Structure 1
């Protein structure tokens, strides 16, 4: 893993005896207590009538109802809600609930996490990379990956399969891949983007390979349930679950420099070996690739959104690498509250409700040459209205060297149309 600065109380009711037992509670509407009686049935003689035991707030289904003796002990009384249809109580009593379906997409049902893990789990692989110098083996690193295509295409993290520090080498781009069903393959590192920490590994198989379905990270909301799958500490077929804590955690919030990136933040347990494994929704669709956690904190894990990963894969197919345009601007998303605060401080601030504020222009950059100034508010980019930096990045795509038209608003509501020609970003900036 990358390390960057890198019940409710459970009450149990139990009884033990030499044979089957039964408990019955009888409550009076005039009493705060009920009497529970316990007796042992004659050997091999019992009734198979479904019954139900209610203790406090808990309902315990039982398959046996036995005549009771007069040995009892007091408990707080509990009444069955008369508003609940008897048919419902009968189903609960017999242990036959309707099913484990959810009331709506995204809701958590009794088997939701089980089904999500079962859907995506077979496509999750363990990746191991042997490291050495001059033929001397020095060790092995581990990670996870996800098969996303029947041709053997596997998504994983670049830091799992690529040398980041030049002190260890990847053995001729070859990695070990182990499937959940135990099959082992030799994989080849096809593409890797160190900036986004996404890589593609390929394996070849004569038999069918399980494949995970890609979902959409743009549909996620804070509080949505997600499941992380992978091989932490080489413990294969491990799943953890949690919720989405933030859908657009910026790299700058994490102290990570370079070109702007956004992450999904979750509270799923992530450890060494989880890197490259999938983050899936309750439908078992991949919505992110787990990349890192905060070393000194629990419940702070991060994943690359799958929508961003899909664009990276498209770059790989088109150019063999990821091309990122660079303008040389530091920008801030605006909303009505921020605009109101800025106008309180300076009444010459332009009359806008949304847009992107230019807070800094890098000297000698494409933006500097185009005439951008600190304080400009970008309202249109290539003829499209923009409300955030992400929209500008999406519009630019991989348009390096192509002139782009930008409409900005300046103090006292003056407008200016600028033409900027992006350069290819140096991710080490």
Structure 2
């Protein structure tokens, strides 16, 4: 291919000379064609070196090597703070035993009746592993984070296994009532920890690293990927229970069963998410809880020993152009207080009921924070405190009202 292209250009140069054009013009054309030859040859070799694939962007081998080194550094630095969490509990098992030993012999069996050869089962209790997940240490005295569904097992004991193979009995300190998040404590000091990053600064396409106890068998498995999406909502199932999870990070970093509770890290080695779920009927679609959602809960556990969330007590729909048109509403944004036959719009006995809120009210703002599709009612309320007095601006029957209420605590 290279030879044919060169011969073609040489013939063109000879033709230019035969035309006896102005010397300056000839030199210019020759220069252009020689440059084209050099570019064509270089392009051909570049194409071949790329394995027949055209390179995307201007990523050099040096830049790719630098990013690889970042990932390697994150894995080496972070893995000691990532742990496996194993749940065990006493399970009843039955041992089958034949009373008559001759019944198992084909020859002697014919001389005994079925009742004489009936086996008996003896119930016994055995301690068995019932699940395995991941977690990571956030405080050097052994405070660690995992998913709620990893430790939401009745009458189970939990063991934390660190990267060096040491085992520690773990105490469940708190389970988050809103998010798939829990905190555990192991005894000791001087544990390696992971710093918490800022998930609010994440960008789609950003490189991330996931570490965890893949399949409950391969501890400290490292996978690399990208932030594929933000603010995802899913229905996550675990056993016989399911829950809706909001504002999740979507990633194509491999997240397998057993990775639940492990960290999702940026290339600075900061935790920006807690790996929590995968899409069962797809490949490379995993989800993580943004770390910003649980920072307040971590502080609460550290100071109060439990997790609490403020509670308003209304059911609502955020106003969209479609809802505005369907309900003939006079405002463009806000939260429309609405329920159904089974679920009242205002929960009886709630702070909202005590403040006089009604079905059909539109909550426009809380403490001056306007409610929008990006900043909905739940997000604003979660940023407040239990027992805090807040002023609500609402629209009712063409009037603006501003009641004040005291936020309760969500059960």
What is the TM-score with the length of structure 1 in the denominator? 0.65
Cα distance change of structure 1 residues 254 and 272 upon mapping to structure 2, 3 Å threshold: closer
- 1:240 has 2:223 as partner: yes
Q: 1:137 — aligned with what?
A: 127
CA contact (8 A) 1:187 1:201 kept: no
SS of the residue corresponding to residue 57 of structure 1 reads: helix
**Structure 2 residue 107 is matched with structure 1 residue 122:** no
RMSD: 3.7
> Aligned residues, how many?
330
* Preserved CA contact (<8 Å) 2:210 2:223: yes
Label 1:190 to 1:346 Cα distance change in 2 as closer, same or farther (>3 A): closer
**SS of the residue aligned with 2:391?**
strand
Tell me the residue number matched to 2:208: 226
CA deviation after TM superposition for structure 1 residue 287, in Å: 0.6
Question: 1:112 touches 1:282 (CA, 8 Å); kept in 2?
Answer: yes
Q: 2:410 maps to what in 1? A: 425
Given that 1:244 and 1:267 are in contact with CA atoms closer than 8 Å, whether structure 2 keeps it comes out as: yes
Judging by fraction of residues, say which structure has more helix: 2
Retained in 2: the 8 A contact 1:124–1:145?
Answer: yes
Whether 2:195 is the aligned partner of 1:203: answer no
For 1:228 and 1:238, the matched residues in 2 are separated by 8
String of CA shifts for 1:180-225, please: whole Å, max 9, x gaps.
xx2403132241315323222333456x433222101111133333
Match of 2:258 among 273, 281, 285: 273
1:292 aligned to 2:277?
yes
Q: Out of 134, 146, 151, which is 2:141 matched to? A: 151
| Distance change (3 Å), C-alpha of 1:382 and 1:241 | same
CA contact (8 A) 1:287 1:306 kept: yes
The answer to whether the 8 A contact 2:236-2:244 is kept is no
Q: 1:139 offset after TM fit, Å?
A: 2.5
Q: Specify which of 109, 113, 117 is matched with residue 71 of structure 2.
A: 113
Note the C-alpha offset of 1:395. 3.8
Match of 1:192 among 160, 164, 174: 174
How far the C-alpha of 1:333 sits from its partner, in A, is 3.9
In structure 2, what is the Cα distance between the partners aligned to 1:143 and 1:420?
Answer: 41
User: For the residues of structure 2 that align with 1:258 and 1:368, how far apart are their CA atoms?
Assistant: 26
**Aligned residue in 2 for 1:310:** 295
Deviation at 1:125, TM superposition (A): 1.6
Runs of at least 5 residues in structure 2 that lack an aligned partner in the other structure: 10-41, 93-124, 340-344
The equivalent residue for 1:392 is 380
* Deviations 1:127-171 (CA, angstroms, capped at 9, x unpaired): 2222214862133421111122222222112322341xx3xx223
Q: Flag structure 1 segments of 5+ consecutive residues without an equivalent.
A: 1-23, 33-51, 61-75, 79-83, 102-108
Q: Within 5 Å, which residues of 2 pair with 1:36-185? A: 55=45, 57-59=47-49, 97=62, 100-101=65-66, 109-133=67-91, 136-163=126-153, 166=154, 169-171=155-157, 174-179=158-163, 182-185=164-167
CA contact 1:161–1:175 (8 Å) conserved in 2: no
Are 2:312 and 2:408, in contact at CA under 8 Å, matched by a contact in 1?
A: yes
8 Å contact 1:144–1:274 — kept in the other structure? yes
Report how far residue 326 of structure 1 moved: 2.3
> CA offsets, 1:61-84, max 9 Å, x none?
xxxxxxxxxxxxxxx9x9xxxxx9
1:289 is displaced (CA, Å) by 0.9
